[in-house]
Amino acid sequence: MQDLIPFLAQALSPGAIVTDTADRQSFETDFRGLIRHPAECVVLPRNAQEVAITVQACAARGVAIVPQGGNTGLVGGGVPAPDVRQVILSLRRMNAIRAVDVIDNTMTVEAGVVLAAAQAAAGQRDRLLPLSLAAEGSCQIGGNIATNAGGVQVVAYGTMRALVLGLEVVLADGRIWNGLRSVRKDNTGLDPKHLFIGAEGTTGIVTAATLRLVPRPRQIATLVIAVPDADRALELYVAFSGRFGSELTSFEYFTRFGVQMLRRHLPKFRHPLAEEHPAYVLCELASCDDARDFAPGLEAVLLRAIEQGTALDSVVAQSEAHRQAFWQLREGLPDGERAEGGAVKHDVAVPISRIPEILREIDRIVAHEHPTPRLHVFGHIGDGNLHINVLPPLGMHLELYRQRSQGMTERIEDAVMKAGGSFSAEHGVGQTRIASLLRYRSPTELGLMTSVKLALDPRGILNPGKVVPVGWGAAGT
C-alpha cells in the first residue's frame, strides 16, 4: 500500500486520486448514512484503460476494489465493507455519451453517465431510454447495470437486463472485454454480459454499455385513481392491462399514510384529488401514434370501475406540468418517510396475483409486533414489487427499532418467499442482505454463484463482502 497511491497518482490522469479524509467521506458513506467504512483512497479514472491500470495495481498489492456509481443504493453495495484494505473506484468521470443510433435504436454510454443525462440524450434524438426511477438525477448507468435496476416502467419494458445489448467490462485481472455489440440476436453460446448485470461489481467493473432504445411516445395519459384497498387496485390493474395491453407502461400503488407523511413534511406537494382515500394507483399509458386518443377507453374502464366500487375517484393529467406533479408525488414518498424519521425497509416481490394476500399477511405480522403499527406501503403493482416500510412507534428512535425488528423482518421475508416471491426485488443484496441470501437461496444456487465469482475473481479483490460471501482472497483472508 505504501507505493500504491504514488504509483496511481503517477500513472493516471491529474485529479484521479482522492486521499483527504474529509473529501473521501461522501464516497465512504452509503446513501442512507447507515454504513461508513474507510478506504485507502478514492480513484476516479477517465477511461477503461485507467480502470485496468488501477485493477492491475491493486491486484498486485492485495488491495480490494469497491466500484461505485452514483452511490444511491440502499443495501451498501457501493461502499466499503469493514476490515478490508480497499480503494473506492468511482466511475463519475467516465461520463461520455459515445453514440446514439436512431436506426438501430441504441445508445452507447460510459458507466458514469447519470441516468437523467442518458434519458435526455435519447430524447434529443426522438427516442426513449425506458428506465425511470426516483434516483435518476444522480444514479449512474454503471450502477443501474450492476444492480439490474427496475423502476416504474418494468411492466412495459423490463428491468435493466432487458435493455442491455452489450457491455465493456474490466475483469479482475485487468483485461478489458469489449462486448459493445448492438445486435438483437446472437445465439453463439453463453452470453458473457449476463455475468455482470446484477452482480453488483463482484465479477467485473462495467465501464460502458450499449443500451436498447424505443421510439418516443407521442401520446401519454397519466391518471391518479383512488381505490379502497390493494384487492381493488389489482382488479383495476387487470382491467387496464386487458384494455390497453402493451400501452400500459406504469401501474403504481401507494397509500393514504404515505401521502399524509409527504404533505405533513413537504407541504408543496398538493393532493391530486378533492378528498383523501385509503389507497391510490398512479397509472400511465403511452402510444407512438400521434392520433391515439385514450379518452374513450379510459372513460369506459373508469366508469365501470366506479360502478363496481373498484375505483372511488380519479383525475387525469391535463398537461405535462400536471403529469409531472403526479409523478413527483409518487417519487416523493420516500422523502416524506425520511422526514418522518425513517423506517425499517423491505424490498419484496411476489407474483402479481398474490399482492393483496401478502399485504394482508404483512399487516398481521406488523400488528403482532406493535399494537399501533405504522406501515408505509408503496410500489409497482404491475410487476409485483412492493416496498414494505415499517416506521418505529412514536417516540422510539429508528436505530433502536431496527435492532429489535430482525424477527419481524424474517417473518415478512418468510411470508414473501412462501408466496413464491423474492426478499429483494430491485435493491439487490449488497452487504446488508447477505444473511437473507444465505437463508433463502438453495445450496445449489449458492454454489453456482460462488463458482462464477471464484472463476472470474479468484483472488476476491472485486467488491468483497457483497452479495456472495466468499472470495475475500488477497483482500483479507
Counting every residue written for the chain, the total comes to 477
What tens digit of pLDDT does each residue of 14-56 get?
999 999 999 999 999 999 898 999 999 999 999 999 999 999 9
Going by their DSSP bridges, the two strands 205-212 and 164-170 should be labelled as: antiparallel
Please answer whether residues 152 and 133 qualify as being in contact, where contact means their C-beta atoms are separated by less than 8 angstroms.
yes
Residues 81 and 103 occupy one common structural domain: no
Residues 21 and 127 occupy one common structural domain: no
- Quick one: pLDDT at residue 476? 38
Question: Is residue 51 in a domain?
Answer: yes
User: Which of these three, 316, 334, 352, is where a domain ends?
Assistant: 334
Does the CA dihedral 422-427-430-432 come out positive or negative? negative
Residues 117 and 169 occupy one common structural domain: yes
- Quick one: pLDDT at residue 477? 36
Q: What are phi and psi of 144, to 5 degrees?
A: -60, -40
Residues 104 and 206 occupy one common structural domain: yes
Give, in order, the Cα–Cα distances in Å from 276 to each of 260, 273, 398, 452, 468: 9, 7, 28, 51, 45
Rounded CA-CA distance 89/207 in Å is: 11
**Mean pLDDT value of segment 80-86:** 94
CB count within 10 Å of CB 307 equals 9
What tens digit of pLDDT does each residue of 97-141 get?
999 999 999 999 999 999 999 999 999 999 999 999 999 999 999
Question: Is residue 470 in a domain?
Answer: yes
Q: Could you tell me the pLDDT band of residue 472, with boundaries at 50, 70 and 90?
A: very low
Question: Is residue 132 in a domain?
Answer: yes
Question: Is residue 71 in a domain?
Answer: yes
Residues 395 and 459 occupy one common structural domain: no
- Quick one: pLDDT at residue 373? 81
The enclosing domain of 395 has a CATH number of: 3.30.70.2740
What tens digit of pLDDT does each residue of 136-176 get?
999 999 999 999 999 999 999 999 999 999 999 999 999 99
321 burial (CB, 10 Å; 0-12 / 13-18 / 19+) is exposed
Residues 224 and 280 occupy one common structural domain: yes
How many structural domains does the chain have?
A: 4
Rounded CA-CA distance 45/122 in Å is: 25
Residues 223 and 275 occupy one common structural domain: yes
- pTM, two decimals, is 0.94
Q: Could you tell me the pLDDT band of residue 1, with boundaries at 50, 70 and 90?
A: low
- Quick one: pLDDT at residue 469? 75
Rounded CA-CA distance 115/135 in Å is: 8
Spatial neighbors of 160 by CB under 8 A, at least 6 apart, are 131, 144, 145, 147, 148, 149, 150, 197
The enclosing domain of 257 has a CATH number of: 3.30.70.2190
Residues 162 and 226 occupy one common structural domain: no
Q: Hey, which residues does 377 pair with through a beta bridge? A: 388
- Angle among Cα 136, 141, 147 to the nearest 5 degrees reads 90
Residues 154 and 119 occupy one common structural domain: yes
- Quick one: pLDDT at residue 369? 84
Rounded CA-CA distance 299/62 in Å is: 64
Using the 8-state DSSP alphabet, how is residue 76 labeled?
S
- Quick one: pLDDT at residue 473? 41
Q: In the chain, pLDDT over 70 holds for what percent of residues?
A: 98
Rounded CA-CA distance 56/65 in Å is: 11
Question: Is residue 445 in a domain?
Answer: no
Spatial neighbors of 253 by CB under 8 A, at least 6 apart, are 230, 233, 279, 280, 281, 377, 378, 379, 380, 381, 386
Question: Is residue 444 in a domain?
Answer: no
User: Which of these three, 301, 334, 367, is where a domain ends?
Assistant: 334
Rounded CA-CA distance 127/214 in Å is: 6
The enclosing domain of 104 has a CATH number of: 3.30.465.10
Spatial neighbors of 2 by CB under 8 A, at least 6 apart, are none
Residues 23 and 50 occupy one common structural domain: yes
Residues 330 and 345 occupy one common structural domain: no
The enclosing domain of 65 has a CATH number of: 3.30.43.10
User: Which of these three, 305, 334, 363, is where a domain ends?
Assistant: 334
Question: Is residue 443 in a domain?
Answer: no
What tens digit of pLDDT does each residue of 373-421 get?
899 999 999 999 999 999 999 989 999 999 999 999 999 999 999 999 9
End-to-end CA distance of the chain: 17
Alpha-helical (H) ranges within 100-200 are 115-124, 141-146, 154-157, 160-163
Using the 8-state DSSP alphabet, how is residue 62 labeled?
T
Q: In the chain, pLDDT over 90 holds for what percent of residues?
A: 94
Long-range contact set of residues 418-423: C-beta below 8 Å, sequence gap at least 24: 419/350, 419/351, 419/354, 419/357, 419/358, 420/350, 420/351, 420/354, 421/348, 421/349, 421/350, 421/351, 421/354, 421/358, 421/384, 422/348, 422/349, 422/350, 423/346, 423/347, 423/348
- Mean confidence (pLDDT) of the chain: 95
Report the amino acid identity of residue 122.
A
Question: Is residue 107 in a domain?
Answer: yes
- Cell reading at 437: 441470501
Residues 211 and 103 occupy one common structural domain: yes
Q: What are phi and psi of 228, to 5 degrees?
A: -70, -35
Range of the domain at 274: 219-243+251-334
